[in-house]
Amino acid sequence: MTKLSVNINKIATLRNARGGDRPNVVQAAKDCERFGAQGITVHPRPDERHIRYQDVYDLKPIVTTEFNIEGNPTPDFLQLVKDVKPEQVTLVPDAPDAITSNAGWDTIKHKDFLTDIISEMKDLGIRTSIFVDPVESMIEGAAIVGTDRVELYTEDYARQYHTDREAAIASYVKAAVKAQEFGIGLNAGHDLDLDNLKYLKDNLPGLLEVSIGHALICDALYFGLENTIQLYLRQLN
């Protein structure tokens, strides 16, 4: 079974656009879990343009499923993770001004850096995942640095899906097989939606978890949050 972790960043974006506390991020997380989500993902960035660091502290006591914190492992981010101790931390090589994540780690170039951080997270009992492109050598590098999981960056898959879905998924299948060979758990995320999710799930061996935010929240405007989460869960089961 592939788990659905709902990224609630866009809930915070809407709140921040007007000020105040509407919609309430904590209540949204509770509702997502109540409606069937098997995890909550947040991705705080240095400018706090959506999820704020305080949101992460506020969410920790109330998330009853898996809490996944994504982000660039800057000193401030790492301190936040150490304080909160989520079930999973996903390390993402975001530039400070990135609108959204747009590339995975070069696990060979950043071998020493990632090895040190992952070791530190493991000492705290936090499962680590690193954001990678679907490249077999990057999976091999991920095994060397000691990560528990990788999250495949699926923008390329989503972009090609409607023109040639077999070609779109080919490199992802190879990466998934390579992850299984090394005993690395497999997550996926970015631009996944109700159109392309089932095909990904059906064709990636060992897919443990997907993290979906933007498309899911957009769909919720039309279908309602509860119904939307159920629609996504059906694609995964």
Instruction: Determine the residue type at 39.
Output: G
The label of the residue with tokens 């095909």 reads 199
Q: How many CA atoms lie within 13 A of 177 on its CB side?
A: 7
d(CA 58, CA 34): 18
Of the pLDDT bands very low, low, confident and very high (cuts 50, 70, 90), residue 131 is very high
**Which of 110, 111, 73 is CA-nearest to residue 90?**
73
**Given the residues 33, 70, 151, 209, the one annotated as active site:** 70
Tell me the per-residue pLDDT of 42-73, one tens digit each, with 9 for 90 and over: 999 999 999 999 999 999 999 999 999 999 99
50 is catalytic: no
Tell me the per-residue pLDDT of 146-185, one tens digit each, with 9 for 90 and over: 999 999 999 999 999 999 999 999 999 999 999 999 999 9
The answer to whether residue 197 scores a pLDDT higher than 70 is yes
Res 138: pLDDT: 97
d(CA 73, CA 53): 14
The answer to whether residue 236 scores a pLDDT higher than 70 is yes
The label of the residue with tokens 């929240």 reads 217
CB 139 within 8 A of CB 175: yes
**Given the residues 33, 50, 151, 190, the one annotated as active site:** 190
190 is catalytic: yes
Res 50: pLDDT: 95
CB 59 within 8 A of CB 24: no
pTM: 0.95
d(CA 148, CA 127): 6
Tell me the per-residue pLDDT of 93-128, one tens digit each, with 9 for 90 and over: 976 555 555 679 999 999 999 999 999 999 999 999
Pairing mode of beta strands 3-7, 39-42: parallel
Res 143: pLDDT: 98
Res 38: pLDDT: 98
**Given the residues 43, 50, 151, 209, the one annotated as active site:** 43
Res 103: pLDDT: 78
- The mean pLDDT of 10-32, rounded to a whole number, is 97
